[in-house]
Structure formats: C-alpha cells, structure tokens
Chain A
Amino acid sequence: MPSVDLRSFPFSAVLDMDDAKRAMECMLVNPNLRTVMIRGGQGSAKTVLARSVGLISGKKIINVPVNVSEEQLFGGMDIDATIKQGKAVMQPGLLSRADGNIVYVDDVNLMDQRILMTLLNCVLDGRVVLEREGVSAEYSVDTMLIATMNPNDSDVSSHVLDRFDLCAYSTFPEEEDKRAEILRRNAEFQKDPESFTRLYKDEEDALLNNIERAKKLLPLVTMSDDLMGVSVELAVKVFADGYRGDIAMINTAKALAALNGRDEVMKKDVEEAAMLCLAHRRNYAQEPPPQPPEPPEPDEDDQDEDPPDEDDQDDQQDQDPPEDQEPPEDQDQEDQQESPPDMDFQQLLDDMVFEIGEQFRVVDYLNDGVRKVSKTSAKKGRRMMVESSDSSGRYARSRIPDDKTHDIAFDATIRAAAPYQKGREHTSLTINIQKQDVREKVREMRAGCTILFLVDASGSLGVRKRMTAVKGAVLSMLRDSYVKRDRIGMMAFRRDSAELVLPPTRSVEYSYRKLEEMPTGGKTPLADALVTVNDYMTSYSRSHVGEMCYIVIITDGRANVPLSEGANPNDEVLKLAEDMAIPQVKWIVIDASSGFIRFDNAERLAQALEATYFRLEDLNADRLAESVRAVIQ
C-alpha cells in the first residue's frame, strides 16, 4: 500500500494545549502509563498534536482507522502462505507493527466498542492473544495508545474511559491573536514543511532530550506518604471507581517530577496529575461534587441543570472565596509540608481538593458540562448494537451458517478453505471451496431509538413548570452519553397548531438553543397535534427502518380546539387516538394536570393510545428522564 506522506507538524509548534502535551510527555517518560486520550471539539488540533508526538519520541505513529476489523488489527490468517503451505499461517496485524511504537486512533468514540476494549487491554497488558480463524497465537507488544475524540458526537462508556491512564481536554482558543498565530504557523508549514520543521528543530531536540533524561531519572523519583495519601484521597473524593485513577495519578506525578528534573514529587505535581488522571474518572452521580467552602445547592425544583445556572454559581465563587481564603493557606502549606501530624495532612488535602475542584469546574465550563458520568445500571451497551437479520448493517464478523446462507462472507470463506487447498482436487478455479468452508456474515446495526416529546405549550396552569421539566429531561437525556446514541426530538402544540420545535437530533448544543426559544401560551389544539405527529412519525419511521420510536405526550389532555368546526374536541381526540397506528412507535402519556379538580382526560387518552401513563406532578426533570428511560428499556 502506498503510504501517505505523514510529515507531521512539530510538537512544539502547536500552540497551547499544555495539558495534552503534558499528558503525552508523561506517557513517554513513564512506561507504566500507556494510554492517553485527548478530548475536544473540532479543529482544536487534537489530531495534529497526536501525530506530532513522533518527532519528540523517535517512535513511529501507527494509525488505526476506526473501522478496522479484528483480523486487521490483531492478526488473522495469511491466505497466500496458507494456500501454499497447506496449513494455517498467521498474518500479523497492525498491532504487531506497533511494538516499540505508538498506536493512534482518531475519533475513538466511533470505534466498535468490543474491538476498542480488546485493543486497550492489549496495550495495557502488553500482549495480544489470538484465537481466530484457525490461528492460535500469542505475541507481546510493547506500545502506547493515543486516542482523540470529539465528545459532542457521542461518547465512549465510562468503562472504556477508565482504561485511559491520562485524559486531556483541548479547547479552541478564542483570542484573535492566538487564532492568527495558529493560522500563520499553519500556512508556513503548508508552504514549506521542511524549513518550518527545521525552525523548530532545536526545541524539538530539547524536548526529546528532556524526555530521555526524565526516563533515566524516573526510577529514582520518590513520593512522600502524605502526597500519596492525598492522591488516594482525591480519587475517593471524586468517586472514581476502582484503583486505576489512584495508580495513574501516582505514576503521572512521578513522571512530572522527572520531567522537571527533580527526584522528589511535589504538591504541584500531584495537582497537575489529578487534572490529567481524575477529570475523566469523576463520578458525581453518587453525590454532589466536592465543593469544600460553601455553596448550598440552590433549591432547585424549577432550575435543573441549565448551564446558565452554573454560570451564575461560577461567578459567585470566583468573587468570593479566593480572596479571603486561599493565599494565607497556601503559605501555610509550604511551611508545614515537612511536619507529619494529621492536622497538616488534612489541611493539605482540603486545600488541594478545593483547588482541584475549582479547576474541574473550569474544565466543565469550557466543555459545556463535559460529562456528568451517570451510573447507569446494567443493560447498557446491549441495546446499542443488534444483529441485523437482513443484509443491512455493518459486516461485523463471520460465522458458520446454520443452514443455507445468502450473505456469504467471502473473506472468511476463503480463509476457511485455505489450509485445505493443497490436498484438494483442483478444477479450473484457483481455489477449491467446499460446502463446509462457507461462512456467512454477521451484520450489526445500531439500535438507537428516537424519542419525540410532544408537549402541550398552551397557556394552561403550570405551563412553566411543565416546560422546565421537559426541557430538563430532553437535555439530560441528550447529555447522557449512552442515550446520545438515540435521537431526541420535540414537538410543541399551542394556539391552533402543532409545531416541530426540534427535529430528532443527537446534538445537545443545537437542541439547547431551540428549547430556549420556545414560546408558550394559548389554547390546546390536541387533535391537531395528534394528526401532525402521526404524519411526521409515519414518514420518519419509514426512513428509519428498525429504529424503535417513542412518543412522549405531556399534557393535561383537555383539548379545546377542534379540528372540524363544531365538533367536541375531546371526543375527537379520543377517536383519533384509537385509530392511531404508526409502525414501530410506542406511546407514553405524562399527565400534567394539576389543581383542585382533577380531570381524567389524559388518562383516557393514554388508554386510547395504549400508552404507558405517568403523572408529572412530582416528577422533576431527572425523574422524568428516568421514568421515560425505564419504559424504553
């Protein structure tokens, strides 16, 4: 295969991205750190930086495409050799070339989860075990992995994320002069890569030397028990699962000390290490984030997790605590670090928890809430991919067919036949394939689903609360990394028609803006809404074959705008509901009625639609999202 000229942009010519650079340097220094992830939006130079590591490490970058097959990556059968020798011969995979080098995966979130997991395990264990297609082998591979991804797209599971020792967030610089500088450097590089690279040669060499020196220094680096204790405590404080975070943090802190030419880990090393090792392992679903000084949660109910809210909090904190709290403590720290008693340890810890908490908040802010890792229990994953019964979907692997098959996996079939070619009679064909060789394709497709919220935005009582709950629920469902594979849409009805506010989407940002703009008030044209949603979803489900759709109606069910003049609007609605039959669609009715006199309109609507029925009354956004999720699973 012709190789593309991958002359890379110099590492040191990449502006900013200090965290990501640090993470990679640490990995190069400490052999116990093997995996780095860089998260960030498009155009934040993730890929450029990842590729540039080659120059400062003297290693080759082995690019693994996201659609790589298991055979290509881990190894499989060498068909040529197998046919000639009459026995299964192994062809080494991409990973075998990675020995002593660096593996790079771009858009790692789009990679098949099982392959990704196996890849990560291979890199972390330093060996590949192969039991495939007649080939049984085990080889060791000493390599590192750099992965980049854009979390706005979809996210990897927290399980996968935990396997990344280090994780850095990259952001696109807003400042004009920085943007200009980036553009300038980029243009120069494009024009004449050779001389541009020469320009940075000294810096690159210095980095390379520093890394080499740090590697030698690393075995001598010591870390005090106090600082080790702090690392462990921090990991507990952010509710990181398991021990990987603790261990990575200590390894990173040591690498940082070595990079700075010291043989002892200092407090700032631990701080920096915490940013790189714990940010992606935080698990706040269990309890609120560590916020030592104050803020009592604002009594929610109405405001849920709207980012502006967070903004406010941030502002307040920026003003309050730093002035009167931090500087004195900081000085104390320097003096007391040597003395052992518990008090100091506690102080040191509190101090650091606070500082790091602050920094995390900044990360969250920059990345729009990055990832409030929720502990979704069970069932995850399974629903995402389903075996496809027809010949649509991605060719995931092959198997021996039960009976006849129409979907032959040629590659696997040839591989199965290969070892026997020597003994088989040869006809005019080069390869003699017999019945037992035939393999069929197993295809998989994403089994995401679509959830359309149909919201009553009329001016009835409690519309505000209802809208807040719905907006919160829509956002929370979109944010949830796993539901991100689903599409969420929203239709609202008011005055005399229904309007598609948000076509089914996976984008959080887009939907957030749309939801903000939504007007409320007016009458309740429920019948019209049903007709509109029926038309829309019928054609939608036709174009999204195999995708389960859910329509969540949130209303008090009291229609007051009839379709045909003079008709009873409520009877009309029930009649329509009974006749409703959209393929692959299930209904959920959430009763928003409240107040002294309770009407059973919504309940009757639910019956007519054969829908699952809930009451909104005491559901806030999270509970709403949860309930909907429970129905779907």
Chain B
Amino acid sequence: MEKLLFPFVSIVGQEDMKRALMLNMVDPGIGGALIKGEKGTAKSTTVRSLAKVLPYRNTVEGCVFNCDPSRPDRLCPYCAEKLARGEQLKSAMVQMRVVELPLSATEDRVAGTLDIEHVLKTGEKKFEPGVLAQANGNLLYVDEVNLLDDHIVDLLLDSAAMGVNYIEREGVSFSHPSRFILVGTMNPEEGELRPQLLDRFGLSVDVKGDKDMEMRMEVVRRRVAFDADPTKYTQECQADTDAMRERITKARELLPKVATDDSIIKAIVTITTSFGIDGHRADITMMKAAKANAALDGRTDVNKDDIRAVAALVLSHRMRRRPFEEAAFDYEELERCLQSI
C-alpha cells in the first residue's frame, strides 16, 4: 500500500522553499535546490510531497535509465544501440518521481555495478543500475545531505556536473545518462556542507519556523487533520494538486518562448557584481530562474519582479562570508541595484 504523503498544496507558508522547488521543476537546468533550516519545519515533508505535483515527461518505454527519446545525444548504451540498428524507440509519458538517496547508501548501489558474470557468460554488457540511473530525468532527494559520506558526495558531484554517470572498474567501463534535479535538505546545526557541493546547488533556501500565531495554528491544524484521516484529506486537496501540476506543465511548455532583453541581463550582472559574486554560474542561474519564474506566471517576458523573486535564492549561498558570520541576504542592496537600472 502506498503511504499517503502530506499534500504539497496544503503546506502553509514557506513560499521561498516552494518557489525554489517549482522553479526547478519548470527548468531542471537551474541545478537543484538546497534547503537549510531548523529542525521540524516541514523540509522533508515538502520535498517528498512533490511526488504528486511533478510533471509528466517523455521517456523510452522499458528503459531502466529513463532515457529521453527526444534527446538522441543523451541516450544510454542500450537505447543508442537500438537506435543505431535502426529500431524505433518507443516513447511513453510517465510522471517524474522523487528518488530518495538514503544516508546509508553504499557506493555500489549509488553508481551501480557491472554484472561481470553476465558479461562473461553471454558476452553482453549487463549493468545493474543504481540510484543514479533511477534518478535520471527525475528528482534526486538527499535528506541530511550534510551527513552524507564524502565518497558518495563525490559520485553525486561527478554526475551532477557531467549529466553522465561513468563507471570505471576492472577494465570495464560503462556510462549512462544521469541528469537529475538534486534536492538536499539539511539542518546547519549538524555541520556545514562541503563548499564544492554547496556551489553545485542552483538555488538555496533558509527555512524558519513561523512565529506568527495564526500561521502556526494553521500549520498545526492541517497536520492534525491530515494525520486523523490521510485519505480524506488527500482527496480534498486533489483539485488543487492537479491544478498545481497543470500550472507547472504549462510553464514547462512556455519556457522556450520566454525571452529576456538587455535590461534584464544588465540588472542581473549589476546585482551579482554588487554582491561580489565570483564566477558566472550565479549569473546564468539567475537568468534561468528568472525565466522559469516568468513562465510560472504564464508570461513570456522577464521583468524586475522575477529577479526580485529569485535573487535571494540564487545568491544567498554564493556570497562570500567570513567565518562565524551569519550571512543574511541584503534586500535593500538588491532593491538599490534594481532601481539603478
């Protein structure tokens, strides 16, 4: 029996977290999201609840690596071989999934292993796919990402950077596409994240518990109602859930049509320069996020509000900071930058 999860659309507040996740669903190229925050603020609940609002996507039927038939340059060896033989790749629409990487995962299960016996017996390559294969085209969720073993983190980083999982062992090499939306949640009290991994996340959010009484009451009331009768509660939210998925799907279709003009590019560069951000990743990510934000609103032109909505998500984990200093995002500075253009 499938365990019912608290519905995404019923989560109170936490707008930044929801926005960061939705932007990634619209454009997986944004590079995932890191959700930091104090304990018990519905971080994991929110990420898991995405399962119901994730959009449908095209995939090769029966392919364990979830290949995308519309991208012949990103096929797994099996699909590529089929295509080379002149066979048609049968496509199917499936809903994106939330693939979870448990903390206790070992590297053979993350990267996958080559079934050597099968190779020897049949002369055919057979690969026992791991989590990175399941994650292809899906959302990969790591809870307590800061507690993950370093060598597992390395595997994730490699795949996230290349979009391909390379397995090199004992003279046999294999590779398959592994593009995923990486979502991590963590409580910074338990330890910080390695800088390499931190930079890999496109967006980051700091989550706090709401101290506003009304909001808090609502949070608690909904949770209690859900726990009392999950089936009924989920049904009541069904229409909203479907609408949310529809909105994301529409935004994905709209995204290629979203255009930016020079003023937006200038605004982005002004902001990243003024915040003293090194490298171009922030600029590119902010552009993508702003476009996705416009698409979510059903617009094809990016405006300053889009930048306002995404700037903190893009920049807060990229700002240089001195040790022992709590980094707070300077909204006034952002406003100054936007006004200056």
Q: Do A and B bind each other?
A: yes
B109 surroundings in chain A (CB, below 8 A): 131-136
B143 touches A (CB below 8 Å): yes
- Bound together, the chains give a CA A366 to CA B130 distance in angstroms of 52
A159 lies within 8 A of B39 (CB): yes
Stretch of A246-254, A541-549, A579-587 on the interface side: A246-254
- Bound together, the chains give a CA A575 to CA B192 distance in angstroms of 42
- Bound together, the chains give a CA A169 to CA B256 distance in angstroms of 60
B239 touches A (CB below 8 Å): no
Stretch of A236-244, A321-329, A457-465, A563-571 on the interface side: A236-244
- Bound together, the chains give a CA A399 to CA B155 distance in angstroms of 13
A159 lies within 8 A of B187 (CB): yes
B108 lies within 8 A of A243 (CB): no
| Most A Cβ at <10 Å: residue of B1, B106, B113, B169 | B106
A195 surroundings in chain B (CB, below 8 A): none
A132 lies within 8 A of B106 (CB): yes
Q: Kindly supply a per-residue 1/0 record for chain B positions 187-218, scoring 1 wherever the CB is within 8 Å of any chain A CB and 0 otherwise.
A: 11111100000000000000001010100110
B209 lies within 8 A of A377 (CB): no
Which of A86, A133, A236 sits near B216, CB closer than 8 Å?
A: A236
A158 lies within 8 A of B3 (CB): no
A228 touches B (CB below 8 Å): yes
CB within 8 Å for A134 and B104 given contacts A422-B117, A436-B169: no
B246 touches A (CB below 8 Å): no
Q: Kindly supply a per-residue 1/0 record for chain B positions 166-188, scoring 1 wherever the CB is within 8 Å of any chain A CB and 0 otherwise.
A: 00011000000000000000011
Q: Which residue of B lies closest to A281 (CB)?
A: B40
- Bound together, the chains give a CA A436 to CA B172 distance in angstroms of 11
| Most B Cβ at <10 Å: residue of A115, A233, A235, A378 | A378
B192 lies within 8 A of A246 (CB): no
- Bound together, the chains give a CA A118 to CA B101 distance in angstroms of 12
B332 touches A (CB below 8 Å): no
CB within 8 Å for A435 and B104 given contacts A134-B128, A243-B216: no
A210 touches B (CB below 8 Å): no
Which residues in chain B, 83-122, are within 8 Å of chain A measured between CB atoms?
100-110, 113, 116-117, 120-121
Which residues in chain A, 200-248, are within 8 Å of chain B measured between CB atoms?
219, 225, 228-229, 231-233, 235-236, 241-247
Which residues in chain B, 119-160, are within 8 Å of chain A measured between CB atoms?
120-121, 128, 130-131, 143-144, 147, 149, 151
B227 touches A (CB below 8 Å): yes
Q: Which residue of B lies closest to A134 (CB)?
A: B108
**B contact residues, total (Cβ < 8 Å):** 53
- Bound together, the chains give a CA A557 to CA B101 distance in angstroms of 56
User: A244 → chain B, closest Cβ, in Å?
Assistant: 4
- Bound together, the chains give a CA A229 to CA B189 distance in angstroms of 29
A375 touches B (CB below 8 Å): yes
**A contact residues, total (Cβ < 8 Å):** 66
User: B114 → chain A, closest Cβ, in Å?
Assistant: 9
B110 surroundings in chain A (CB, below 8 A): 131
Q: Which residue of A lies closest to B118 (CB)?
A: A423
B258 touches A (CB below 8 Å): no
A404 touches B (CB below 8 Å): no
B189 lies within 8 A of A377 (CB): yes
Which of A376, A398, A419 sits near B189, CB closer than 8 Å?
A: A376
B309 touches A (CB below 8 Å): no
CB within 8 Å for A423 and B39 given contacts A121-B143, A133-B106, A400-B107: no
User: A441 → chain B, closest Cβ, in Å?
Assistant: 13
Which residues in chain A, 127-176, are within 8 Å of chain B measured between CB atoms?
127, 129-136, 140, 157-159, 162-163
A219 surroundings in chain B (CB, below 8 A): 228
B51 touches A (CB below 8 Å): no
Which residues in chain B, 304-321, are within 8 Å of chain A measured between CB atoms?
none
- Bound together, the chains give a CA A114 to CA B116 distance in angstroms of 33
- Bound together, the chains give a CA A47 to CA B101 distance in angstroms of 34
A236 lies within 8 A of B211 (CB): yes
A423 lies within 8 A of B191 (CB): no
B121 lies within 8 A of A251 (CB): no
Q: Which residue of B lies closest to A435 (CB)?
A: B170
B224 lies within 8 A of A251 (CB): yes
| Most B Cβ at <10 Å: residue of A70, A159, A399 | A159
- Bound together, the chains give a CA A361 to CA B46 distance in angstroms of 36
B39 lies within 8 A of A158 (CB): yes
B63 touches A (CB below 8 Å): no
B211 lies within 8 A of A382 (CB): no
| Most A Cβ at <10 Å: residue of B38, B39, B130, B170 | B39
Q: Which residue of B lies closest to A382 (CB)?
A: B191
A378 surroundings in chain B (CB, below 8 A): 188-189, 191-192
CB within 8 Å for A229 and B213 given contacts A126-B3, A242-B38: yes
B211 lies within 8 A of A423 (CB): no
A420 touches B (CB below 8 Å): yes
B326 touches A (CB below 8 Å): yes
B187 surroundings in chain A (CB, below 8 A): 159
B3 lies within 8 A of A140 (CB): yes
- Bound together, the chains give a CA A245 to CA B223 distance in angstroms of 12
Q: Which residue of A lies closest to B229 (CB)?
A: A219
B113 lies within 8 A of A241 (CB): no
- Bound together, the chains give a CA A377 to CA B188 distance in angstroms of 7
A232 lies within 8 A of B223 (CB): no
A104 touches B (CB below 8 Å): no
B217 surroundings in chain A (CB, below 8 A): 225, 228-229, 232
B39 lies within 8 A of A130 (CB): no
A436 surroundings in chain B (CB, below 8 A): 116, 169-170
- Bound together, the chains give a CA A526 to CA B170 distance in angstroms of 63
A159 surroundings in chain B (CB, below 8 A): 39, 187, 189-190
A381 surroundings in chain B (CB, below 8 A): 147, 190-191
B42 touches A (CB below 8 Å): yes
B220 touches A (CB below 8 Å): yes
User: B170 → chain A, closest Cβ, in Å?
Assistant: 5
CB within 8 Å for A162 and B147 given contacts A243-B216, A423-B121: no
B223 lies within 8 A of A423 (CB): no
A445 surroundings in chain B (CB, below 8 A): none
B189 surroundings in chain A (CB, below 8 A): 157-159, 375-378, 380
B1 surroundings in chain A (CB, below 8 A): 140
Which residues in chain A, 358-395, are within 8 Å of chain B measured between CB atoms?
375-382
A419 surroundings in chain B (CB, below 8 A): 117
Which of B116, B120, B209 sits near A243, CB closer than 8 Å?
A: B209
User: B326 → chain A, closest Cβ, in Å?
Assistant: 7
User: A424 → chain B, closest Cβ, in Å?
Assistant: 8
A129 lies within 8 A of B40 (CB): no
B257 touches A (CB below 8 Å): no
B216 lies within 8 A of A246 (CB): yes
B324 surroundings in chain A (CB, below 8 A): 377, 630
A497 touches B (CB below 8 Å): no
User: A223 → chain B, closest Cβ, in Å?
Assistant: 8
A117 lies within 8 A of B188 (CB): no
A131 lies within 8 A of B102 (CB): yes
B3 surroundings in chain A (CB, below 8 A): 125-127, 140
- Bound together, the chains give a CA A74 to CA B41 distance in angstroms of 26
Interface residues of A (CB under 8 A from B): 32, 70, 74, 86, 113-115, 117-118, 121, 125-127, 129-136, 140, 157-159, 162-163, 219, 225, 228-229, 231-233, 235-236, 241-247, 250-251, 375-382, 397-400, 416, 419-420, 422-424, 435-436, 630
User: Can you name 10 extra interface pairs (CB under 8 A) apart from A243-B219, A381-B190, A423-B121?
Assistant: A125-B3, A131-B131, A136-B109, A157-B189, A232-B213, A236-B213, A241-B41, A246-B220, A381-B191, A420-B117
Interface residues of B (CB under 8 A from A): 1, 3, 38-42, 100-110, 113, 116-117, 120-121, 128, 130-131, 143-144, 147, 149, 151, 169-170, 187-192, 209, 211, 213, 216-217, 219-221, 223-224, 227-228, 324, 326
Which 3 pairs of residues, A with B, have the shortest CB-CB distance?
A242-B40, A244-B40, A131-B109
23 contacts between A and B (CB under 8 A): A114-B104, A114-B147, A115-B104, A126-B3, A131-B104, A131-B106, A131-B130, A133-B108, A134-B108, A134-B109, A225-B217, A229-B213, A232-B217, A233-B213, A236-B216, A242-B39, A242-B209, A243-B40, A247-B223, A251-B227, A377-B189, A381-B147, A400-B107
